[in-house]
Every structure is written in structure tokens, then in C-alpha cells.
Structure 1
Amino acid sequence: MRKYKLTSALAEEIAKDVVRNEESWRRYLNTASRLYKYPFKEQLSIYAQRPDATACASIEIWNEKMHCWVNKGANGIALIDEDSFSGLKYVFDISDVHKARRIGQFPNLWEMREEHMEAVLSRLEKTYGDTDREAGFVVRIRGIAGRIAEDCYKELALDMEYFKEGEVKEPETEKSDVEQLNKRLSEMSAVEKICSALDWEDVVGWNEDTQAVTITDGERALEGKEVYDLLFAEAADYVMMQTISGKTQKALEMDGLLKEAGHYAARYEGKIVAEQTEEQPLTADDVENLVLIDREYIKGTRTMIYDFECDIRGEHDKLQYMLEYHDDGEGFTIHTEKDDIWERLPESELARLEGILGREVNECG
């Protein structure tokens, strides 16, 4: 019974630890990926006792099916089993056993190879929907993983509450902790979607000390406002290129992702999202009834100027969209006659508005 209590307490403690931050969760997933046939709670117990485990089975399976014998002095991994007399059962990792002479065999450990990639994607897409075939394997897998995470979001949040049952906390405090975790996961998901659409392989994470979203790859490590500054700048170029090439649907999809991310980006600008009862911050959607009335190309500065008439929250205004072409790319500005919109819109909404204006220009020829 003492062993049962220790194993149960260890499982509860590791359940809290793996969701403490992104790095802890990543370490757990590294182990769980090799033990995908075990249920979540047993994966946690194996991870707590043997994080390097690769293939686990009971002594009966090792002996009778694989003809392998447990090494002398090897310790089994204890798992909760409410149906047994002791409340526990034991499994052994492949590193704890050796093959019997002539008849012993080890299991074939699953691994992803290049020739498997299309088959894996095809199977996943039948369940979770198509992915962008122009993107790489990693980006497509991350996109599918994002859909699965989004589908399971609320259910997983309830699981987090379950694992907190042993904590001495007021109900409201516990609820608040779960809500904060949900908000963090939602923000990371919003950033992940844009990275995937841009075909980036950056790792999206979270800095516990600063409570800010992060992206990292081999060359850069960005946090908070830096993340969104880069994303919005790159996304604006992406929307323009997709629009020019006639891929309007992709431009619209990115527009939706930017709208979602803009909510999270605002807090790094020191802005507070207004309550529903108050006037909402200006967005790209507030610019309506756009009519292109003039255009001019200034050859000397390689600048294209588009003049529009529009309504902004029901008030008529004139808007000027300016594109400046440079050898290393292009830049844009958007200004209005009344209460200049360039100063009123956050960067995420300016990027969205540029995409809208670009589509208007493209449709007008």
C-alpha cells in the first residue's frame, strides 16, 4: 500500500509539473511520443520514473511473446492498476531486458522516414482536413496538430482542473489558474497559425518570467512585441503577394489570422481592450465602402499612390494608400484626412487593412 501511495502521489505531482511551462511539456511529449499506445495517466507515470523509456511491456509479454528475459537487478516501472490486489502493475523498458538465445526478438521501434511522409499526411488529412500542399512536411504536421489542439481545447482544460484537485486552493483561484493557462495556449496557437501560414519552422513558446509569447529558430529568438512586429510585417507582404498572384483565399485566411492575433498583440503595446459597453478600438473592418478614385505612379521615387473614398464607422473620409518600392522589398503607408488612421490603428490592423486595399486595387485593375 505504501508503494501505491508513493506512485499515486508521484503521478499527481508530475501532472502539475508537465503543464508548468512550455519546456516541461515538451520534455514530457518527447517521452510520450515513444509510448503512444499507453493512456495519458500511464504515460505520465512512465515519464516520472523513466523519462528515457522507449518501449515498455509487462514481464509476461517480454517472456511469452518476445522471448526476452528481464536483466538481473532491473527495476520495473510502477503503474496504477485499480483492478489488482496491490493497486499496481509493473512494466519494463526494452533497456531492462535481453533476448533469449536463438528465439528472442526485440520489437521493431517505429520511426518516421522520408518515404513515410506522404502516407502519414494523407491519413491525417482524411480525418482533420486538407493542408497546404506547397508547404513542407513540418509545417503541414504543425497545422494539423493545431487543429487537433483547438478541437480538444476545452476538454484538456477540464483535465487540467482534474489534476489540480489535490491542491489546497480556493475554487476561484483554481479557476483563475486554468483560465490563465487557456489564454496563454490561445495566444501561442494564434502565433503558431501565422508561422505555419508563412511556412516558418520557428518553435513557438512562452516565457514564464515575462509572461510573453516567444518564437525561436536557429538564427533568432524573439519575445512579446518583437514577435508581433515581425509577424505583421511579414504577413503584410504575404497578403500582398497572394493578392497579386490571384490567390485571394489565402490572403483572406491570413487576414483572419491577423485579426485574431491583433487581440493578443495589443497588450504588448500597453493597450487595454475596451469593455463591450465602451467604444471598441478601431479595426480594419471599420473601413467600409472603399472606392478607388485615383492612382499615380511617381517614377523618380518608385512610389505608387492610390486615393480612395471610404466610410469609417459611418463617417465619410478620404484615404491614401502609398506603396514605395525598394531594391530589398517594399513599404507602405496609409493615411486619412480626418483623424489620421495611421496613428489610430495598431500594426496588426494596418497589415490587415493593407491586404484589403491591395485586393481593391487588384480588382480594379
Structure 2
Amino acid sequence: MFLLRRAGRGFGDGRSCPRAIQDGARRLSTMVAQVAPESPSGGDAAMPADPTDPFVLVRGEIDAVSERIRRDVVSEIPALARAAEYFLRVGAEGKRVRPSMLLLLSSALSPVPPSPEDLIVDPRPPSAPTPEVRRRQQRIAEITEVMHVASLLHDDVIDGSATRRGQKSLNVAVGNKLAILAGDFLLARASVSLAALREAEVIMLMSQVLEHLVSGEIMQMTSAPEDLMRMDHYKMKTYRKTAAMMSNSAKSAAILGGHSREVINLASDFGRHLGMAFQVVDDILDFTASSDMLGKPALNDLKSGIATAPVLFAAEDFPALAPLICRKFQDVGDIEEALRMVENSSGIQRARELAKHHACQAADAVSAPV
């Protein structure tokens, strides 16, 4: 996937990143897109380990990123520090898709040492990124993950969630007030780290992520009934709640790497489409995966009154779904009836095709020569 060329010189000069990074980055999109409801394990748990596993390729850096995140949540107020640490340990420790994506992208953008034949054609060696550049890109990965974790804390309070990754959610463990304050604390920490980068465009981009998270949640809470039926409304909400973070953080990593504007924009496109694919996959798994696998109750979206891609596509096959969507599945029997119609429609298959479309668009964004 990542045929990103020499740092600062665009995609088109023929120097691709190391094969392992290319293959690992390609699998990141493939893993997101591979949702098979007939597979009992589904998701990334079903993926066999191999040398191109993107999470294996960046495992060492991710471990360091995770450790720095845990250090960053230290507070002189013990209750606040314990709350944030509990959630990071119990509710958010996974494969860390977002920082993994950013570290793979940053590696793929790095120049490859030239061969002797290359030097004959072009005697100017590509300038390797300094350790400081890489550290700043790692910092964006950390900031992105902290913002994501904070958004999960707030989401669990808004949704009244009782579990996260199979454990008690923080709002259940410590109460809503402390859970909200813990999320605010993490956002404040992320903001301080962001300001320390002293990169105005990056600060603006990552600040916009917070704006999009809030506006996306408000869209979900306050949309008019007729908007709930619109696929473009669903896509805009998905962009704001999920894809904007991946898009803006990927763009930020490219900016910090000193790359051309064209490469920066392609990195943004990659993150946006990967984020869209990621969320559509999550929406599919709400119907096809078990509660144990999800770490949260299955059919959680329907129970929360949210119509996702499988439901909206199913409504095209079963118009009787429309009134259920508009009243947010609040009447007795609505959830069971909606599930029956989704299962007997093309909704899940069409949602899977939508996820694969965005995964392919992510690949195209960073594969095309410029």
C-alpha cells in the first residue's frame, strides 16, 4: 500500500519504502476490510501472525508509546490519576490501531538508502529523518491515542455503557462525574503536548479533531428523524466521530516529516478512508460478533437508537424499517424486528462492500504516483 517515496520529494521518484513496511501497511487496510459474518472469530482476532502483520512491525514503538501515555496521566490528585490509569489499563489497552497506523505511515514516508545504481542516476542521497523528527511523529501518535481514549470515556457516560473491553466501564467503576473529569484531564494533557510541538498547522488540525468529535456526537444525539434515514448524514457523522481523527493525525505526521504538500494531502486521504472503513466494520460487527469478542453488548447501536450502515442499507430492501429508524427503535419489539430485517436483507453485505471501498480508497491514496 505505502508506495510513498523519498522524504520531501513526493511519490513519483521510484524509491519505495522497505518491503516489510509496504506489506504491513497494506495489511492494515486489508485487516480493516476483512469482515466476514460467517467467521466465528471475525475481526483482527482471526488474523494469523506473520512478518507483515502491521502490529508486529511497530510493536516495539507501540510499547514505548503506551508507556509514555501512562506516564503522562500521572496527576498530583490521586483519584484522577487512578481513574485515568484504570481506563488506560482496563478499557483501552488493545492493539492501538491509531498510533500503529501513524507509525507505519511515518516509516513508509521515510527515505530508503539508495543503491549504487541509484546514485549513478541521482547522486543526491535522500535526507533521512532525524531522531527528533521521528520523536515528534511518535508524539502525534501519543496525542491521538490520548484524545481517542478521552472520547471513549465521554462516550461511555453519554451512552450509559456498563462495560468496555469486557470489563466494567470507568463510569460504572468510579461514577459519571469522575469519568467525565478524567476524560477532560486527558484532553488537557493532550493539549499541552500538542502545544509543545510548536507547529501551528498541526495544532490547528488536531484541535479540529476535538471540534469534530463534539459535533459528531451532537449530530448523533439531536438529528431530525428524516436525517436519520440519510446515508450522507451517516457518512458525515462517521467522518466527524471517527475518520477526522485518523485523517488529521496522518496529515500531521506527514507535516512533521517535512514532506511536500501533495504527499501531506495524500496522507490525509489515507487516514480519512481508513477511518471510514474502520467505523463501518465496527458497525457490521455490532450485528455479527458476540458480546465477548466486542467487549461490549452486541446490538449496542440498535439499543442506543442509532441506525448504522447495515440498517440503512437494509431499509432499502425493507421500507418497513423506516419508521423504526425514525423513532430510534424505542417501541417494544423494535430491536428484534429491526434485527430480523437486517439479517434477511443485503444490509450487512452492502456495508461490507462500503468498508472495502474505503479500504481500497485508502490504498489508492498512497499508491498512486504523483
Structure with the largest fraction of helix:
2
Indicate the structure whose relative CO is greater, using CA pairs within 8 Å and at least 6 residues apart: 2
Tell me the TM-score normalized by structure 2: 0.26
Q: Which has the larger radius of gyration?
A: 1
The structure with the greater share of residues assigned to strand is 1
